[in-house]
Each structure stands twice: as C-alpha cells, then as structure tokens.
Amino acid sequence: MRYGALLSFGLLLLAGCGRSSLECESHADCVSGQACVAGQCVEGDPCVEGLCPTGQTCIAQICVPDELLPGDCSDAAPCGPNEQCVAGSCVPACGPEGCGPVCDEAGVCPDEGPPACRADVECGAGRICEAGACRDGCRDDAACGPDQRCDPATFRCQAARCANNDDCPAGLLCAADGLCVACLGDADCDPGFVCDPMARACRPRPQCVADEECPAGFVCEARQCVPGEGCRGEFDCGPLQQCVAGECIDVGCRQDAD
C-alpha cells in the first residue's frame, strides 16, 4: 500500500513538472521520448549510449528515476550473477555466455550482423562452422592426421586410442601404449621405406650416412643423396681432379701412371 502511494505520488510529481502520465500497456502506447512505466507514460532525458546518471535507469532510450520502477532492482540494487535489471525486474542474461551489457527489454541480444559462416565449406581446411563462426575442428576421421581420430563429442582431432588393430583406422596398427601408429617395424612399411622408431611412421630408406656413399656431384643430406653444389672432397670430383675451395680442379695426373 505504501509502495503504491509512493509510486502514484512520483508519477503525479512528474506530471506536475510537465511530463506525461497517460496510461499505457507498452512503450508503443507512448510518444517518442517517453517510456511506459507501471502503466503510465513517463518522459525523461535521453540515455547516452545506454547509460544514465546514478539513480536512473535507461528504458526505451530515456532515463527514468529508479523510484518509479516496479520490481526489485535498480542501479543501487543490482541483480545477481547471470541476471540483468530490465525495467526494474531481474531477468536472465541474453544467453548461456551473456552478450554484453546492451540488450533490449525482452533480454534479446542486438543484431551483430550476418554470421561468418553457415556451412563447413565456407571455412578453411581443418575448420568447421559452429554457431555462425569458423573454428578449428573436424566432422570425421578423414579431416584428422594419420594417427588421429575425430572425437564426436568435441569435434576435435584426438590421438587415436586402441586395444587392438581393429580399433584403428585403416592402415594403422595398435601399439603397446594404446596409440594407433603407422608402423611398428620395417616390415610394416612399403619397399624402399623403413619405420622411424621415434615417429613410428614410414620414412624413405636411408641412401647414405656420408657423402662418400653418394655418386659424384651428390652429397648426403638427411640420409638421402641429393645434388650438391661444388665439392666437399676429392671423392666428389673426377679421377684427374682435385677439390679446391669447393670446386673440382683438373690436376692432369695424380701418379706417374697417369
């Protein structure tokens, strides 16, 4: 009873100051620059970027004194976590993660523009479309690495776990630590390849461990014979040449028989 009297007094006070007190059911029933508060059209100063002076609340883009608001919240008496004060009442935040401080009276987030994507094909390789945004992820095992699987719960690539070979994707083997790997030994690789014991993946069989094991003009790099620039020793040069400062120089002969 006391609250109703105070509210009526406040509205009459506003009316006495030249502000409207016409009856309303929604903001649409009031003219521009007014808000519908407790069934009455109330005038107020415009909000500045959704903000008002202390003791006032922004409603329908005008500042309304908190004492005129029905309900149980105001700037002086804010709502609890995950709630916001709308027209004097505590309502849930815009969404599970909230959407910032600016929402309308219905608790709806303002339009932030078109979504970044609507389908996975609009995102790059290794990314999927979720909630209108592209993020790293997968839809099936084909999008993951050779020793990974797509987790259907998180849609992210995870190391493939196994109890036996049947639990692994095609072409992979179940190792003792429960991971699906490409090889456990050289016999698991194609001809010309060996099993790298650290990566447990098939690599090209080493052609060399030193330059001397490669043909003339080639050097040993990463255990493979590749074309070299210049020479590293006499073994890189012809029979009547000598390696000098990285170049093969003709020497005519090396011994009397030459």
State the SS3 of 207-233: CCCCHHHCCCCEEEECCEEEECCCCCC
Per-residue pLDDT of the chain (258 residues; tens, 9 = 90+): 444 444 444 444 444 433 455 788 777 778 877 877 777 888 888 877 667 788 787 777 778 887 776 666 665 566 766 666 665 666 665 544 444 444 444 444 545 555 678 888 888 778 888 888 888 889 888 888 766 778 877 888 887 778 899 988 888 899 888 888 889 999 999 988 889 888 888 888 888 878 888 887 777 887 778 887 767 677 777 778 888 867 788 876 656 665
Q: pTM (2 decimals)?
A: 0.30
Q: How far apart, in whole angstroms, are the C-alpha atoms of residue 167 and residue 245?
A: 57
How many alpha carbons lie under 13 Å from residue 12 in its C-beta half-sphere? 6
Tokens 């020479």 locate to 231
